[in-house]
A and B are shown apart, each in its own frame.
Chain A
Amino acid sequence: MLYVLQQTLNALQLGSIYALIALGYTLVYSILRMINFAHGDIFMVGGFVCFAAATYLQLPFAVTLLLAMGCTAILGAGLERLAYRPLRDAPRVSAVITALGCGIFLEHFVLWLSPYPQHVPALLQNQTWSLGGLSVSSIQTAIVAIAVALMLVLDFIVQRTMLGLAMRGISMDMKAVALMGVPVDLVISSTFAFGAALGGAAGVLYSLAYPVVDPYMGVLMGWKAFIAAVLGGIGHIRGAVLGGFLLGAVEILVTAFLPSTYRDLTVFTLLLMLLIVRPHGILGRPTLQKV
Protein backbone atom coordinates (compact mmCIF):
# COMPACT_ATOMS: atom_id res chain seq x y z
CA MET A 1 0.00 0.00 0.00
CA LEU A 2 2.73 2.39 1.01
CA TYR A 3 4.63 1.42 -2.11
CA VAL A 4 1.64 2.20 -4.31
CA LEU A 5 1.20 5.62 -2.68
CA GLN A 6 4.87 6.35 -3.09
CA GLN A 7 4.69 5.47 -6.77
CA THR A 8 1.55 7.58 -7.18
CA LEU A 9 3.50 10.59 -5.93
CA ASN A 10 6.24 9.88 -8.45
CA ALA A 11 3.64 9.53 -11.19
CA LEU A 12 2.11 12.90 -10.26
CA GLN A 13 5.49 14.56 -10.47
CA LEU A 14 6.32 13.15 -13.90
CA GLY A 15 2.75 13.52 -15.14
CA SER A 16 2.53 17.19 -14.25
CA ILE A 17 5.62 17.91 -16.37
CA TYR A 18 4.17 15.99 -19.32
CA ALA A 19 0.85 17.74 -18.87
CA LEU A 20 2.43 21.21 -18.95
CA ILE A 21 4.25 20.42 -22.19
CA ALA A 22 1.20 18.72 -23.70
CA LEU A 23 -0.83 21.90 -23.09
CA GLY A 24 1.45 23.81 -25.44
CA TYR A 25 0.81 21.36 -28.28
CA THR A 26 -2.90 21.35 -27.71
CA LEU A 27 -3.28 25.14 -27.45
CA VAL A 28 -1.58 25.74 -30.78
CA TYR A 29 -3.40 22.86 -32.42
CA SER A 30 -6.78 24.06 -31.24
CA ILE A 31 -6.49 27.44 -32.92
CA LEU A 32 -4.34 26.68 -36.00
CA ARG A 33 -4.82 22.93 -36.56
CA MET A 34 -1.07 22.69 -36.62
CA ILE A 35 1.39 20.65 -34.56
CA ASN A 36 4.22 22.83 -33.32
CA PHE A 37 6.97 20.23 -33.35
CA ALA A 38 9.48 22.78 -32.08
CA HIS A 39 7.65 22.76 -28.75
CA GLY A 40 9.82 20.04 -27.16
CA ASP A 41 12.83 22.19 -27.89
CA ILE A 42 11.17 25.20 -26.30
CA PHE A 43 10.96 23.03 -23.18
CA MET A 44 14.71 22.42 -23.54
CA VAL A 45 15.39 26.16 -23.87
CA GLY A 46 13.41 26.64 -20.66
CA GLY A 47 15.78 24.18 -18.98
CA PHE A 48 18.82 26.03 -20.29
CA VAL A 49 17.54 29.46 -19.24
CA CYS A 50 17.04 27.93 -15.82
CA PHE A 51 20.61 26.59 -15.84
CA ALA A 52 22.04 29.95 -16.92
CA ALA A 53 20.01 31.96 -14.44
CA ALA A 54 20.91 29.68 -11.56
CA THR A 55 24.59 29.31 -12.46
CA TYR A 56 25.66 32.72 -13.71
CA LEU A 57 23.13 35.03 -12.11
CA GLN A 58 22.33 32.99 -9.01
CA LEU A 59 18.79 34.24 -9.06
CA PRO A 60 16.23 32.98 -6.56
CA PHE A 61 13.98 30.20 -7.76
CA ALA A 62 10.83 32.27 -8.33
CA VAL A 63 12.72 34.79 -10.47
CA THR A 64 14.38 31.98 -12.40
CA LEU A 65 11.01 30.43 -13.14
CA LEU A 66 9.53 33.73 -14.31
CA LEU A 67 12.60 34.52 -16.39
CA ALA A 68 12.47 31.13 -18.11
CA MET A 69 8.75 31.52 -18.80
CA GLY A 70 9.28 35.04 -20.14
CA CYS A 71 12.15 33.99 -22.43
CA THR A 72 10.30 30.99 -23.82
CA ALA A 73 7.11 33.06 -24.28
CA ILE A 74 9.08 35.50 -26.43
CA LEU A 75 10.70 32.58 -28.26
CA GLY A 76 7.33 30.94 -28.95
CA ALA A 77 5.70 34.14 -30.17
CA GLY A 78 8.83 34.93 -32.20
CA LEU A 79 8.80 31.55 -33.94
CA GLU A 80 5.16 32.08 -34.84
CA ARG A 81 5.85 35.54 -36.21
CA LEU A 82 8.93 34.63 -38.23
CA ALA A 83 8.38 31.03 -39.26
CA TYR A 84 4.70 30.08 -39.09
CA ARG A 85 2.76 33.24 -39.89
CA PRO A 86 4.11 33.52 -43.44
CA LEU A 87 2.80 29.98 -43.98
CA ARG A 88 -0.63 30.50 -42.48
CA ASP A 89 -2.42 30.03 -45.78
CA ALA A 90 -0.03 27.32 -46.98
CA PRO A 91 -0.87 23.63 -46.64
CA ARG A 92 -0.60 22.51 -43.01
CA VAL A 93 2.15 20.05 -43.92
CA SER A 94 4.45 22.95 -44.84
CA ALA A 95 3.95 24.55 -41.44
CA VAL A 96 4.55 21.25 -39.66
CA ILE A 97 7.80 20.67 -41.58
CA THR A 98 8.86 24.22 -40.77
CA ALA A 99 8.19 23.47 -37.11
CA LEU A 100 10.40 20.38 -37.27
CA GLY A 101 13.10 22.54 -38.86
CA CYS A 102 12.76 25.18 -36.15
CA GLY A 103 13.16 22.46 -33.53
CA ILE A 104 16.37 21.18 -35.09
CA PHE A 105 17.61 24.75 -35.35
CA LEU A 106 16.99 25.36 -31.66
CA GLU A 107 18.73 22.11 -30.67
CA HIS A 108 21.82 22.98 -32.65
CA PHE A 109 21.85 26.60 -31.68
CA VAL A 110 21.96 25.55 -28.04
CA LEU A 111 24.50 22.84 -28.89
CA TRP A 112 26.69 25.56 -30.35
CA LEU A 113 26.38 27.61 -27.15
CA SER A 114 26.85 24.66 -24.85
CA PRO A 115 28.29 21.49 -26.39
CA TYR A 116 28.17 19.50 -23.16
CA PRO A 117 25.37 18.53 -20.81
CA GLN A 118 25.27 20.99 -17.93
CA HIS A 119 24.59 20.43 -14.30
CA VAL A 120 21.90 22.69 -12.82
CA PRO A 121 22.68 23.78 -9.26
CA ALA A 122 20.06 23.03 -6.63
CA LEU A 123 17.36 25.65 -6.99
CA LEU A 124 15.37 24.73 -3.94
CA GLN A 125 16.53 23.31 -0.69
CA ASN A 126 15.40 19.75 -0.73
CA GLN A 127 13.68 18.52 2.37
CA THR A 128 12.08 15.18 2.79
CA TRP A 129 9.15 14.78 5.07
CA SER A 130 8.07 11.45 6.30
CA LEU A 131 4.34 10.98 6.62
CA GLY A 132 3.74 7.66 8.23
CA GLY A 133 6.50 6.01 6.27
CA LEU A 134 5.62 7.83 3.03
CA SER A 135 8.44 10.13 2.02
CA VAL A 136 7.44 13.38 0.38
CA SER A 137 10.12 15.74 -0.86
CA SER A 138 9.78 19.49 -1.04
CA ILE A 139 10.88 19.41 -4.67
CA GLN A 140 8.19 16.93 -5.57
CA THR A 141 5.58 19.06 -3.83
CA ALA A 142 6.81 22.22 -5.53
CA ILE A 143 6.71 20.62 -8.99
CA VAL A 144 3.17 19.38 -8.66
CA ALA A 145 1.93 22.57 -6.97
CA ILE A 146 3.46 24.91 -9.54
CA ALA A 147 2.26 22.81 -12.46
CA VAL A 148 -1.30 22.63 -11.15
CA ALA A 149 -1.31 26.38 -10.39
CA LEU A 150 -0.20 27.15 -13.96
CA MET A 151 -2.89 24.87 -15.37
CA LEU A 152 -5.52 26.67 -13.31
CA VAL A 153 -4.26 30.04 -14.57
CA LEU A 154 -4.47 28.81 -18.16
CA ASP A 155 -7.94 27.43 -17.60
CA PHE A 156 -9.00 30.79 -16.18
CA ILE A 157 -7.61 32.64 -19.19
CA VAL A 158 -9.28 30.37 -21.70
CA GLN A 159 -12.63 30.05 -19.99
CA ARG A 160 -13.11 33.39 -18.30
CA THR A 161 -11.37 36.18 -20.19
CA MET A 162 -12.16 37.98 -23.43
CA LEU A 163 -8.81 36.79 -24.77
CA GLY A 164 -9.84 33.21 -24.08
CA LEU A 165 -13.19 33.82 -25.71
CA ALA A 166 -11.36 35.17 -28.76
CA MET A 167 -9.14 32.06 -28.80
CA ARG A 168 -12.15 29.80 -28.71
CA GLY A 169 -13.72 31.85 -31.50
CA ILE A 170 -10.58 31.49 -33.63
CA SER A 171 -10.60 27.74 -33.13
CA MET A 172 -14.10 27.63 -34.62
CA ASP A 173 -13.89 30.15 -37.46
CA MET A 174 -10.79 32.26 -37.90
CA LYS A 175 -12.15 34.35 -40.79
CA ALA A 176 -15.45 35.14 -39.08
CA VAL A 177 -13.81 36.08 -35.80
CA ALA A 178 -11.70 38.73 -37.55
CA LEU A 179 -14.91 40.17 -38.98
CA MET A 180 -16.28 40.51 -35.46
CA GLY A 181 -13.38 42.80 -34.59
CA VAL A 182 -10.96 40.35 -33.00
CA PRO A 183 -7.28 41.14 -33.72
CA VAL A 184 -6.51 37.59 -34.85
CA ASP A 185 -2.73 37.95 -35.17
CA LEU A 186 -2.44 39.30 -31.65
CA VAL A 187 -4.54 36.47 -30.23
CA ILE A 188 -2.48 33.86 -32.09
CA SER A 189 0.78 35.42 -30.84
CA SER A 190 -0.56 35.33 -27.28
CA THR A 191 -1.57 31.70 -27.66
CA PHE A 192 1.93 30.75 -28.78
CA ALA A 193 3.40 32.79 -25.93
CA PHE A 194 1.20 31.07 -23.33
CA GLY A 195 1.92 27.60 -24.69
CA ALA A 196 5.66 28.24 -24.84
CA ALA A 197 5.71 29.74 -21.32
CA LEU A 198 4.12 26.56 -19.98
CA GLY A 199 6.76 24.53 -21.85
CA GLY A 200 9.47 26.78 -20.39
CA ALA A 201 8.07 26.30 -16.91
CA ALA A 202 8.10 22.55 -17.51
CA GLY A 203 11.79 22.86 -18.42
CA VAL A 204 12.50 24.53 -15.08
CA LEU A 205 10.48 21.98 -13.11
CA TYR A 206 12.22 19.17 -14.95
CA SER A 207 15.62 20.62 -14.00
CA LEU A 208 14.50 20.68 -10.38
CA ALA A 209 13.86 16.96 -10.46
CA TYR A 210 16.57 15.83 -12.88
CA PRO A 211 19.25 18.53 -12.64
CA VAL A 212 21.09 17.92 -15.90
CA VAL A 213 20.23 19.80 -19.10
CA ASP A 214 21.42 18.92 -22.58
CA PRO A 215 20.42 20.24 -26.01
CA TYR A 216 18.59 17.06 -27.00
CA MET A 217 16.59 16.67 -23.81
CA GLY A 218 13.52 18.15 -25.52
CA VAL A 219 13.31 15.55 -28.25
CA LEU A 220 12.02 12.54 -26.36
CA MET A 221 10.14 14.65 -23.80
CA GLY A 222 8.51 16.57 -26.64
CA TRP A 223 7.41 13.42 -28.44
CA LYS A 224 6.05 11.91 -25.27
CA ALA A 225 4.12 15.06 -24.36
CA PHE A 226 2.78 15.23 -27.91
CA ILE A 227 1.55 11.67 -27.55
CA ALA A 228 0.01 12.61 -24.21
CA ALA A 229 -1.85 15.45 -25.92
CA VAL A 230 -3.12 13.15 -28.67
CA LEU A 231 -4.07 10.56 -26.11
CA GLY A 232 -6.18 13.06 -24.17
CA GLY A 233 -7.71 14.42 -27.37
CA ILE A 234 -5.61 16.98 -29.22
CA GLY A 235 -7.07 20.48 -29.15
CA HIS A 236 -8.76 19.67 -25.87
CA ILE A 237 -7.19 21.48 -22.91
CA ARG A 238 -8.41 19.21 -20.16
CA GLY A 239 -7.55 16.26 -22.39
CA ALA A 240 -3.91 17.36 -22.49
CA VAL A 241 -3.77 17.46 -18.71
CA LEU A 242 -5.42 14.07 -18.43
CA GLY A 243 -3.14 12.57 -21.09
CA GLY A 244 -0.06 13.96 -19.35
CA PHE A 245 -0.94 12.48 -15.99
CA LEU A 246 -1.98 9.21 -17.56
CA LEU A 247 1.32 8.92 -19.42
CA GLY A 248 3.22 9.68 -16.22
CA ALA A 249 1.25 7.03 -14.34
CA VAL A 250 1.75 4.35 -16.97
CA GLU A 251 5.49 5.02 -17.14
CA ILE A 252 5.92 4.75 -13.39
CA LEU A 253 3.72 1.68 -13.27
CA VAL A 254 5.73 -0.07 -15.96
CA THR A 255 9.08 0.69 -14.35
CA ALA A 256 7.75 -0.56 -11.03
CA PHE A 257 7.26 -4.03 -12.42
CA LEU A 258 9.55 -4.35 -15.43
CA PRO A 259 13.19 -3.49 -16.12
CA SER A 260 13.40 0.23 -16.93
CA THR A 261 14.79 -0.49 -20.41
CA TYR A 262 11.35 -1.83 -21.32
CA ARG A 263 9.69 1.39 -20.23
CA ASP A 264 9.25 3.25 -23.51
CA LEU A 265 8.44 0.12 -25.49
CA THR A 266 5.71 -0.94 -23.09
CA VAL A 267 4.34 2.56 -22.61
CA PHE A 268 4.03 3.32 -26.29
CA THR A 269 2.54 -0.08 -27.05
CA LEU A 270 -0.17 0.51 -24.48
CA LEU A 271 -0.86 4.03 -25.72
CA LEU A 272 -1.04 2.97 -29.34
CA MET A 273 -3.49 0.26 -28.40
CA LEU A 274 -5.60 2.82 -26.59
CA LEU A 275 -5.64 4.99 -29.71
CA ILE A 276 -6.98 2.08 -31.76
CA VAL A 277 -9.97 1.96 -29.44
CA ARG A 278 -10.36 5.74 -29.15
CA PRO A 279 -8.77 7.29 -32.24
CA HIS A 280 -9.78 10.82 -31.20
CA GLY A 281 -8.29 10.50 -27.76
CA ILE A 282 -10.00 10.15 -24.44
CA LEU A 283 -11.86 13.47 -24.42
CA GLY A 284 -11.69 14.17 -28.15
CA ARG A 285 -14.78 13.94 -30.26
CA PRO A 286 -14.92 12.72 -33.82
CA THR A 287 -15.40 15.75 -36.05
CA LEU A 288 -16.77 15.65 -39.53
CA GLN A 289 -14.75 17.54 -42.05
CA LYS A 290 -17.09 19.52 -44.26
CA VAL A 291 -16.77 18.26 -47.82
Chain B
Amino acid sequence: MCLLEIQGLTHRFGGLCAVSDFNIKVTEGELLGVIGPNGAGKTTLFNLITGVYRASEGAVLFRGSDLVGRAPHEIVKLGVARTFQNIRLFKELSVLDNVRVADGVHAGYGAMDALLQLPRFRREESSGRERSMQLLERFQLDEYANTQARHLPYGLQRRLELARALATRPKLLLLDEPAAGLNVGEVDRLMDLLREVREEFRPTIILIEHSMRFVMRMCERLKVLDFGTTIAEGTPEAIRSDPKVLEAYLGEETPR
Protein backbone atom coordinates (compact mmCIF):
# COMPACT_ATOMS: atom_id res chain seq x y z
CA MET B 1 0.00 0.00 0.00
CA CYS B 2 1.19 3.48 -0.86
CA LEU B 3 2.01 5.50 2.28
CA LEU B 4 3.52 8.61 0.76
CA GLU B 5 3.06 10.04 -2.68
CA ILE B 6 4.83 13.22 -3.71
CA GLN B 7 3.63 14.87 -6.89
CA GLY B 8 5.48 17.60 -8.76
CA LEU B 9 7.04 19.02 -5.62
CA THR B 10 8.95 22.22 -6.38
CA HIS B 11 10.57 24.70 -4.05
CA ARG B 12 12.30 27.95 -4.87
CA PHE B 13 14.38 30.17 -2.62
CA GLY B 14 14.18 33.46 -4.50
CA GLY B 15 15.55 32.54 -7.93
CA LEU B 16 17.18 29.30 -6.85
CA CYS B 17 15.20 26.15 -7.48
CA ALA B 18 16.17 23.90 -4.58
CA VAL B 19 13.80 21.08 -5.45
CA SER B 20 12.25 20.80 -8.86
CA ASP B 21 9.37 18.60 -9.96
CA PHE B 22 10.07 15.82 -7.47
CA ASN B 23 7.84 12.75 -7.75
CA ILE B 24 7.84 9.58 -5.74
CA LYS B 25 5.66 6.83 -4.36
CA VAL B 26 6.76 5.11 -1.19
CA THR B 27 5.04 1.90 -0.16
CA GLU B 28 4.43 0.94 3.43
CA GLY B 29 7.38 -0.73 5.12
CA GLU B 30 9.86 0.30 2.44
CA LEU B 31 13.32 1.76 3.10
CA LEU B 32 14.12 4.31 0.43
CA GLY B 33 17.49 6.03 0.15
CA VAL B 34 17.94 9.54 -1.21
CA ILE B 35 21.48 10.36 -2.26
CA GLY B 36 23.17 13.17 -4.14
CA PRO B 37 26.03 15.62 -3.89
CA ASN B 38 26.03 18.44 -1.33
CA GLY B 39 23.43 21.06 -2.09
CA ALA B 40 21.35 18.69 -4.22
CA GLY B 41 18.18 19.53 -2.29
CA LYS B 42 17.91 16.47 -0.06
CA THR B 43 17.45 18.22 3.26
CA THR B 44 15.12 20.74 1.60
CA LEU B 45 13.01 17.77 0.57
CA PHE B 46 12.73 16.69 4.23
CA ASN B 47 11.94 20.25 5.27
CA LEU B 48 9.13 20.32 2.70
CA ILE B 49 7.64 17.04 3.87
CA THR B 50 7.76 18.04 7.56
CA GLY B 51 6.29 21.50 7.04
CA VAL B 52 9.40 23.55 7.90
CA TYR B 53 9.08 25.08 4.43
CA ARG B 54 5.90 25.45 2.47
CA ALA B 55 6.29 24.04 -1.03
CA SER B 56 6.06 26.51 -3.92
CA GLU B 57 4.24 23.90 -6.00
CA GLY B 58 3.13 20.30 -5.82
CA ALA B 59 1.54 17.99 -3.29
CA VAL B 60 2.77 15.70 -0.51
CA LEU B 61 0.08 13.07 -0.02
CA PHE B 62 0.53 11.16 3.21
CA ARG B 63 -2.05 8.38 3.58
CA GLY B 64 -4.17 10.28 1.11
CA SER B 65 -4.15 13.74 2.73
CA ASP B 66 -2.01 16.64 1.56
CA LEU B 67 0.64 17.82 4.01
CA VAL B 68 1.47 21.06 2.17
CA GLY B 69 0.39 24.05 4.27
CA ARG B 70 0.07 22.13 7.52
CA ALA B 71 2.02 23.16 10.61
CA PRO B 72 4.99 20.97 11.57
CA HIS B 73 3.41 19.77 14.82
CA GLU B 74 0.27 18.62 13.00
CA ILE B 75 2.37 16.66 10.54
CA VAL B 76 4.14 14.93 13.43
CA LYS B 77 0.78 14.06 14.89
CA LEU B 78 -0.27 12.49 11.61
CA GLY B 79 2.74 10.20 11.85
CA VAL B 80 5.86 11.72 10.29
CA ALA B 81 9.02 12.03 12.40
CA ARG B 82 12.58 12.97 11.58
CA THR B 83 16.14 13.29 12.76
CA PHE B 84 18.58 16.01 11.81
CA GLN B 85 21.81 16.13 9.86
CA ASN B 86 23.47 18.21 12.58
CA ILE B 87 22.12 16.66 15.77
CA ARG B 88 19.44 18.86 17.32
CA LEU B 89 18.76 17.43 20.74
CA PHE B 90 17.49 19.62 23.57
CA LYS B 91 20.95 19.86 25.01
CA GLU B 92 20.11 20.99 28.52
CA LEU B 93 17.19 18.64 29.03
CA SER B 94 17.81 15.19 30.44
CA VAL B 95 17.95 12.24 28.07
CA LEU B 96 14.60 11.08 29.43
CA ASP B 97 12.98 14.50 28.97
CA ASN B 98 14.17 14.63 25.37
CA VAL B 99 12.10 11.53 24.70
CA ARG B 100 9.19 12.74 26.87
CA VAL B 101 8.80 15.92 24.79
CA ALA B 102 8.29 13.77 21.72
CA ASP B 103 6.04 11.31 23.55
CA GLY B 104 3.85 14.27 24.56
CA VAL B 105 2.36 14.39 21.07
CA HIS B 106 -0.08 11.76 22.25
CA ALA B 107 -0.66 13.05 25.77
CA GLY B 108 -1.14 16.76 25.11
CA TYR B 109 0.53 19.71 26.78
CA GLY B 110 -2.36 21.11 28.83
CA ALA B 111 -1.49 23.00 32.01
CA MET B 112 -4.88 23.09 33.66
CA ASP B 113 -5.04 19.32 34.18
CA ALA B 114 -1.62 19.43 35.73
CA LEU B 115 -2.37 22.34 38.03
CA LEU B 116 -5.57 20.82 39.30
CA GLN B 117 -3.74 17.51 39.70
CA LEU B 118 -6.55 15.76 37.88
CA PRO B 119 -6.28 11.98 37.83
CA ARG B 120 -6.02 12.13 34.05
CA PHE B 121 -2.86 14.22 34.38
CA ARG B 122 -1.27 11.85 36.88
CA ARG B 123 -2.10 8.88 34.71
CA GLU B 124 -0.76 10.43 31.52
CA GLU B 125 2.30 11.80 33.24
CA SER B 126 3.32 8.46 34.63
CA SER B 127 2.45 6.44 31.54
CA GLY B 128 4.39 8.90 29.35
CA ARG B 129 7.36 8.58 31.66
CA GLU B 130 7.10 4.80 31.55
CA ARG B 131 6.85 4.61 27.77
CA SER B 132 9.82 6.93 27.40
CA MET B 133 11.85 4.88 29.82
CA GLN B 134 11.05 1.67 27.94
CA LEU B 135 12.21 3.27 24.73
CA LEU B 136 15.46 4.31 26.38
CA GLU B 137 15.97 0.75 27.61
CA ARG B 138 15.35 -0.54 24.13
CA PHE B 139 18.09 1.76 22.85
CA GLN B 140 20.39 1.00 25.79
CA LEU B 141 20.27 4.61 26.91
CA ASP B 142 18.46 4.00 30.22
CA GLU B 143 21.58 4.36 32.34
CA TYR B 144 21.87 7.94 31.04
CA ALA B 145 18.18 8.81 31.62
CA ASN B 146 18.95 11.67 34.01
CA THR B 147 22.07 12.92 32.24
CA GLN B 148 21.82 16.15 30.27
CA ALA B 149 21.79 15.29 26.58
CA ARG B 150 24.81 17.45 25.83
CA HIS B 151 26.97 15.26 28.03
CA LEU B 152 26.35 12.13 25.93
CA PRO B 153 29.10 11.00 23.59
CA TYR B 154 28.42 11.79 19.95
CA GLY B 155 27.43 8.28 18.90
CA LEU B 156 24.89 8.03 21.70
CA GLN B 157 23.48 11.44 20.81
CA ARG B 158 22.73 10.08 17.33
CA ARG B 159 21.05 7.09 18.92
CA LEU B 160 19.00 9.33 21.23
CA GLU B 161 17.81 11.34 18.23
CA LEU B 162 16.53 8.14 16.70
CA ALA B 163 14.82 7.13 19.94
CA ARG B 164 13.27 10.59 20.26
CA ALA B 165 11.88 10.42 16.73
CA LEU B 166 10.38 7.00 17.41
CA ALA B 167 8.71 8.30 20.58
CA THR B 168 6.25 10.19 18.37
CA ARG B 169 5.23 6.75 17.02
CA PRO B 170 5.79 7.60 13.38
CA LYS B 171 4.51 5.72 10.37
CA LEU B 172 7.06 7.51 8.24
CA LEU B 173 10.55 8.11 9.60
CA LEU B 174 12.87 10.55 7.86
CA LEU B 175 16.54 10.09 8.70
CA ASP B 176 18.87 12.89 7.64
CA GLU B 177 22.40 11.48 7.41
CA PRO B 178 22.17 9.17 10.42
CA ALA B 179 25.70 7.89 9.86
CA ALA B 180 27.36 11.31 9.58
CA GLY B 181 30.38 11.57 11.83
CA LEU B 182 30.30 7.92 12.93
CA ASN B 183 33.30 5.64 12.55
CA VAL B 184 33.14 2.31 10.69
CA GLY B 185 32.30 0.27 13.78
CA GLU B 186 29.57 2.70 14.83
CA VAL B 187 28.08 2.65 11.33
CA ASP B 188 27.87 -1.15 11.49
CA ARG B 189 26.11 -0.95 14.84
CA LEU B 190 23.74 1.68 13.45
CA MET B 191 22.86 -0.63 10.57
CA ASP B 192 22.05 -3.43 13.00
CA LEU B 193 19.99 -1.04 15.09
CA LEU B 194 18.05 0.17 12.06
CA ARG B 195 17.28 -3.40 11.05
CA GLU B 196 15.95 -4.07 14.55
CA VAL B 197 13.90 -0.86 14.46
CA ARG B 198 12.36 -1.99 11.18
CA GLU B 199 11.51 -5.37 12.69
CA GLU B 200 9.97 -3.95 15.86
CA PHE B 201 8.42 -0.61 14.99
CA ARG B 202 7.83 -1.27 11.28
CA PRO B 203 8.09 2.34 10.14
CA THR B 204 8.49 3.27 6.51
CA ILE B 205 11.87 4.98 6.22
CA ILE B 206 13.34 7.57 3.89
CA LEU B 207 17.01 8.03 4.48
CA ILE B 208 19.47 10.65 3.27
CA GLU B 209 23.04 9.48 3.36
CA HIS B 210 26.46 10.17 1.94
CA SER B 211 28.02 6.91 3.02
CA MET B 212 27.71 4.71 -0.07
CA ARG B 213 28.53 1.58 1.90
CA PHE B 214 25.61 2.40 4.16
CA VAL B 215 22.98 2.98 1.48
CA MET B 216 24.16 0.10 -0.70
CA ARG B 217 23.65 -2.30 2.19
CA MET B 218 20.50 -0.84 3.72
CA CYS B 219 18.25 0.44 0.96
CA GLU B 220 16.08 -1.49 -1.42
CA ARG B 221 15.65 1.47 -3.71
CA LEU B 222 17.59 4.68 -4.28
CA LYS B 223 16.71 8.04 -5.65
CA VAL B 224 19.53 10.32 -6.79
CA LEU B 225 19.14 14.10 -6.70
CA ASP B 226 21.37 16.73 -8.23
CA PHE B 227 20.62 20.46 -8.36
CA GLY B 228 17.08 19.75 -7.16
CA THR B 229 16.17 17.35 -9.94
CA THR B 230 15.98 13.56 -9.92
CA ILE B 231 18.73 12.18 -12.10
CA ALA B 232 18.34 8.47 -11.42
CA GLU B 233 16.20 5.96 -9.58
CA GLY B 234 16.48 2.24 -9.02
CA THR B 235 18.17 -0.56 -7.11
CA PRO B 236 21.57 0.14 -5.54
CA GLU B 237 23.24 -2.07 -8.18
CA ALA B 238 21.67 -0.16 -11.05
CA ILE B 239 22.53 3.20 -9.47
CA ARG B 240 26.15 2.23 -8.96
CA SER B 241 26.76 1.91 -12.66
CA ASP B 242 24.49 4.70 -13.88
CA PRO B 243 26.59 7.12 -15.99
CA LYS B 244 24.54 10.15 -14.91
CA VAL B 245 25.19 9.40 -11.26
CA LEU B 246 28.90 8.94 -11.83
CA GLU B 247 28.93 12.25 -13.66
CA ALA B 248 27.14 14.07 -10.82
CA TYR B 249 29.53 12.70 -8.23
CA LEU B 250 32.80 12.65 -10.14
CA GLY B 251 32.32 15.23 -12.87
CA GLU B 252 32.01 14.69 -16.60
CA GLU B 253 34.51 12.47 -18.26
CA THR B 254 36.67 14.53 -20.57
CA PRO B 255 38.28 12.90 -23.58
CA ARG B 256 42.04 13.20 -23.39
4 closest Cβ pairs, A-B complex: A181-B105, A181-B76, A161-B114, A178-B72
Contact among A153, A156, A168, A187 for B90, CB-based, below 8 A? A168
Chain B residues with Cβ under 8 A from A59's Cβ?
none
Q: A172-B91, A172-B92, A173-B90 are in contact. Are A180 and B111 (CB under 8 A)?
A: no
Q: For residue A177, which residues in chain B have a CB less than 8 angstroms away from its CB?
A: 90, 101
Q: Is B73 touching A163 in the complex (CB atoms < 8 A)?
A: no
Encode A111-151 as 1/0 by CB contact (under 8 A) with B.
Answer: 00000000000000000000000000000000000000000
Verify A169–B90 contact, CB threshold 8 A: yes
Interface size on A, residues (CB 8 A): 28
Interface 1/0s, chain B 93-107, versus A by CB < 8 A? 100010011101101
Give B128's nearest chain A residue, CB to CB: A162
Nearest CB to that of B104 among chain A residues?
Answer: A162
B230 is an interface residue with CB less than 8 A from chain A: no
Q: B100 — nearest CB in chain A belongs to which residue?
A: A165
A157 to B125, CA, bound (A): 13
B115 an interface residue at 8 Å Cβ cutoff?
A: yes
> Can you list 10 pairs linking A and B with CB atoms under 8 Å apart?
A160-B114, A161-B111, A161-B115, A161-B121, A168-B92, A178-B72, A180-B76, A180-B105, A181-B105, A181-B168
B111 near A175: Cβ-Cβ < 8 Å: no
Q: Once the chains are docked, how many angstroms separate the CA of A176 from the CA of B91?
A: 12
Interface residues in chain A, defined as those with a beta carbon under 8 Å from any beta carbon in chain B: 153, 156-157, 160-166, 168-169, 172-173, 175-187, 190
Q: In the complex, how many residues of chain B place their beta carbon closer than 8 angstroms to a beta carbon of chain A?
A: 33
**B93 CB contact (under 8 Å) in A163, A168, A186:** A168
Q: What number of A-B contacts does a CB cutoff of 8 Å give? A: 93
**In this assembly, does B131 line the interface, its C-beta being within 8 Å of a C-beta of chain A?**
no
What is the CA–CA distance of A172 and B128 in the complex, to the nearest angstrom? 21
Q: B108 contacts A179, CB within 8 Å?
A: no
Which residues of B sit under 8 angstroms from A160, Cβ to Cβ? 114
Q: Which of B101, B108, B110, B114 contacts A180 (CB 8 A)?
A: B101
Please indicate the chain B residues that have their CB under 8 angstroms from the CB of A168 in the complex.
90, 92-93, 97
Given contacts A162-B125, A165-B104, contact A184 B73 (CB under 8 A): yes
State whether B82 touches A179 (Cβ < 8 A). yes
Contact of B73 (CB < 8 Å), options: A162, A164, A181, A190: A181
Q: Across the interface, do A165 and B111 meet the contact criterion of CB distance under 8 Å?
A: no
Which A-chain residue is minimally distant from B102 (CB atoms)? A180
Q: Are A165 and B97 in contact (CB under 8 A)?
A: yes
Q: A180 contacts which chain B residues (CB < 8 A)?
A: 76, 81, 101-102, 105, 164, 168
- Chain B residues, CB < 8 A from A164: 111
B50 proximal to A (CB < 8 A): yes
A160 nearest CB neighbor, chain B only: B114
Cα distance, A175 to B164, chains bound together (Å): 15
Interface residues of B in 157-173 (CB under 8 A from A): 164, 168
Q: Is B84 an interface position by the 8 A CB rule?
A: yes
| Residue from A164, A168, A183 with most neighbouring chain B CB atoms (10 Å) | A183
Contact assessment for A175 and B52 in the assembled complex, using a CB-CB cutoff below 8 Å:
yes
Complex Cα spacing A168 to B100, Å: 12
Q: Which of A157, A182, A185 contacts B104 (CB 8 A)?
A: A182
Q: Is the CB of B109 within 8 A of A169?
A: no
Q: State A181–B82 Cα separation when bound (angstroms).
A: 11
B60 to chain A, nearest CB (A): 15
Highest count of chain B CB atoms <10 Å: which of A168, A172, A184, A186: A172
Q: Are B168 and A162 in contact (CB under 8 A)?
A: no
A166 with B52: CB separation less than 8 A = no
Cα A179 to Cα B90 with chains together (Å): 12
Query: How far, in angstroms, from A179 to B114 measured CA to CA in the complex?
Result: 24
Q: Tell me the smallest distance from the CB of B43 to a CB of chain A, in Å.
A: 13
A175 surroundings in chain B (CB, below 8 A): 52, 88
The distance from the CB of B117 to the nearest CB of chain A, in whole angstroms, is 10
A31 vs chain B, min Cβ distance (A):
13
B101→A166 contact, CB < 8 A? yes
